[in-house]
Amino acid sequence: MQKTSDHKILIVDDDQIVGKALGHLIKQIGAQSVYVPSGKQALEKITTADTPFSLIISDQQMPEMKGSELLEKAKEITPDTIRFLITGYADMDAVTEALNRGAIHQYISKPWNRESLSEAIRNSLEQYAVIMENHRLFTLAKEQNTVLYRLNVALKKNTDQHQKALLKKNERIAELTTRLEKEFDSRDHMQEVQTFLQKEQLLDQTRLHALHSAMASELYKQFTDIAARSGFEMPETFDTGF
């Protein structure tokens, strides 16, 4: 929220005495003020200001441009600025019309009560601060939503890519598994071992027969153990055929 000293108020009145009196009142509140004597100069200040005025206080009866006309134009330039119109009883028709068009937020009757006007100015500055804070929070939420949306898109993209990569790997594993199973089933591994040993001259025919006999004996022993656990009996001897 803005501090009171951060607020800037534009005073518009062709009577410099009134302008100084309002400036002194605003200074006591703790805010800043800028004074101009005409609606034309006021529009120039509003248009060229670095930051919008928090509040504009304008007299109704001014030469060249009425206060209600000025405030209506100010609304188009800085719609969030609070707008006060100072007027006499004779100008009530213009005040009513300005209120109906939304050109002013509040009117101040002449002669004004100092304490009432001070309170009205303080309330308007608080109102403007709330408006600015709401704008800030809305902008922040919009920026955060944009960031979250981009992160979500990037995350979804990475997830999709990761899932596609996993799918390809799974397909490759399944393909290799199928090939291994086919190759294992179609190959005579015992014959391959025998051929390799003979080719390398590591095993002659006599030793090969002995190897087969030993393997057959080991298999017979294993089958005997399995048969005993299952309640069957194997013959005590068998012919290996070698």
Asked if residues 201 and 173 have their Cβ atoms less than 8 Å apart, the reply is no
Output the pLDDT for position 35.
97
Taking the domains of the chain in order of start, what are their residue ranges? 4-130, 188-229
Asked if residues 56 and 82 have their Cβ atoms less than 8 Å apart, the reply is yes
Output the pLDDT for position 142.
80
Neighbours of 240 (CB within 10 A): 13
Asked if residues 59 and 67 have their Cβ atoms less than 8 Å apart, the reply is yes
The β-bridge relationship of strands 32-36 and 106-109 is unpaired
Output the pLDDT for position 127.
93
C-alpha distances (whole Å) from 201 to each of 195, 198, 205, 242 are 10, 5, 10, 20
HSE of 197, CA atoms in CB hemisphere, 13 A: 15
B/e letters for 62-80, b = 16+ CB within 10 Å, e = fewer, are beebbbbbbbbbbbeebee
For 4-130, give the CATH class: alpha beta
Give residue-wise pLDDT tens across range 39-58. 999 999 999 999 999 999 99
Q: What is the pTM of this model?
A: 0.61
Whole-angstrom distance, CA of residue 127 vs CA of residue 9:
14
**Starting at the edge strand that comes first in sequence, how are the strands of the sheet with 55-59 ordered?**
32-36, 8-12, 55-59, 82-87, 106-109
Output the pLDDT for position 158.
78
Output the pLDDT for position 111.
86
Give residue-wise pLDDT tens across range 109-124. 888 899 999 999 999 9
Give residue-wise pLDDT tens across range 14-35. 999 999 999 999 999 999 999 9
Which parts of the chain sit beneath pLDDT 70?
1-4, 89-91, 173, 176-177, 179-212, 214-216, 218-220, 222-223, 225-242
The 8-class DSSP code of residue 171 comes to: H
Output the pLDDT for position 90.
58
Whole-angstrom distance, CA of residue 200 vs CA of residue 60:
117
